[in-house]
Amino acid sequence: MPSTAQIKYLTHYSEPETYRLSGFNHYFDNGLVIPVYRESAEALERILLWAEQRQNTLVILVINRPETDDETEWAKPFITPPLPVQWQSTDENMVCYRLVNQSSLFIIDRCQIGLPIPKKQGVGLARKIGADILCQLIANQQIRSPWIANSDADAILPDDYFSTGHSTKESPNTAALIYPYRHISQDNSDNILTTRLYEFSLHYYVSGLQWAGSPYAYQTLGSTIAVHYQHYAQVRGFPKRSAAEDFYLLNKLAKTGKVVSLKGPIIKLLARESERVPFGTGPAVKALAERDSVFDLPLYHPQTFSYLKAFLNWARTLCHEDSYNSNSPLAIPGSVLSGNFDGPLLLAVSEQMGLPSALTHCFEQGQSAEKRLQHFHTWFDAFKTLKFIHAIRDKKLASITYRDWRKHYYPDVDRYAELTEWVSDFDQHDLA
């Protein structure tokens, strides 16, 4: 049965496509959403090949383009594939095609017949449309799995994608599952090294957060996320953004339940440059490729994570105090500043972030240290964590290149054990 939050969400906040499912009387074990914009016919073939090998699976493709792009020729193979029609909406912008093994391909046209996507809402709205439909079908008990799976057209999903991690045995407090991923080359092009370096920077950041003790230490790629439908409804779905919709969705989900990083199976992502979104993997890879050397990849200075760790330890200490006096100036205890720390810097950044008012709220709302700490982490979320890192970078510790990190900081192997695979790979290339 759908939860109260799900009913409220589907009634008041879901996209119009969810109201146009009249007559769609089909049932599946699992569902997957893939937004499609300016993809090749080869991508469709790859998706179909994978989908036809699944049992009782509904694959939803949201064919979309921004209102600023009038080109639609690329979308024709996706919108009218050579497959038998299973169902069609009355306004004809949604068609479900029958596949083998009781699976189906559900096409949502927001490119030709359907309205294009507002520029500022981009891929976020595209993902939301498909995920809202899955949420509605789960509410209708037409999809058995409680997980709204999300990916991209450049992803090669493993055969056991649904059999690992998506089990209903997962804790009901699990809000999202994050699959591991690896970029691969489709045509042995030179950009695989560039993409792998950018991939390394993402893992480096998450590794730093994990070492610092942040509860927001997880990857944030839309192509690797599965969301529990109850938590999805609770946070009102994907943010309607042209980029970073995955980051902001997970930032909200982490406040409603656990974000679990799976050990496997691995999703393979095709390495490619792209300008389809304003920022993210594609644009970042393109910008990195334009540098004199790809090994000039900028990384946050490792000591910025030391400041984050000190800040989080300090906050934990403050939350365990019996009271907090907002009229008294903040003072950092010596135990937090053990090592070579700039105390005034940490204090200045903490006040810049709004720590005093946040602590006042924590003590007003939390009757125990555990509850106060929970309120603190709800306030100091993934976005504020990134702002903290940037503040330390801008005020004192400028970013360094991969070369400098490899030479001066990687010897701390215990701290960077999870990054050895990338380092070993890059060491095979000439760094001179």
Number of Cα atoms under 13 Å in the Cβ half of residue 225: 27
Q: What is the token pair recorded at 59?
A: 């694959």
For 259, list phi and psi in degrees, rounded to 5: -105, 110
pLDDT in tens, 5-29: 889 999 999 999 999 999 999 999 9
Q: What per-residue confidence (pLDDT) applies to 219?
A: 97
Q: Is there a contact between 237 and 131 (Cβ–Cβ < 8 Å)?
A: yes
Q: Which of 281, 89, 81 is nearest to 200 (CA)?
A: 281
- Torsion on CA atoms 131, 137, 141, 145, rounded to nearest 10: -30
Q: Which of 62, 49, 269 is nearest to 156 (CA)?
A: 269
Please list, in sequence order, all residues whose beta carbon lies within 8 angstroms of the beta carbon of residue 18, skipping any fewer than 6 positions away. Answer: 10, 132, 133, 135, 136
Q: What is the token pair recorded at 13?
A: 């906040």
Q: What is the token pair recorded at 261?
A: 């990083």
Q: What per-residue confidence (pLDDT) applies to 164?
A: 64
Percent of the chain with pLDDT over 70: 93
Whether cis (ω within 30° of 0) applies to the bond prior to 265 is: yes
pLDDT at 238 over 60: yes
In the chain the domains, ranked by start, together with CATH numbers, are: 4-182+220-256 (3.90.550), 302-395 (no CATH)
Q: What per-residue confidence (pLDDT) applies to 274?
A: 58
Segment 111-116 mean pLDDT:
95
pLDDT in tens, 361-391: 999 999 999 999 999 999 999 999 999 999 9
Alpha helices for 302-401 (secondary structure H) = 302-319, 343-353, 355-365, 369-379, 382-395
- 305 by Cβ neighbours in 10 Å (0-12 / 13-18 / 19+) ranks as buried
What is the average pLDDT score of the chain? 91
In angstroms, what CA-CA distances link 381 with 249, 268, 312, 324, 427?
Answer: 12, 29, 12, 21, 35
Question: Which pTM value belongs to this model?
Answer: 0.94
Q: Hey, CA dihedral for 357, 360, 362, 364, is it positive or negative?
A: negative
Q: Is there a contact between 166 and 260 (Cβ–Cβ < 8 Å)?
A: no
pLDDT in tens, 348-363: 999 999 999 999 999 9
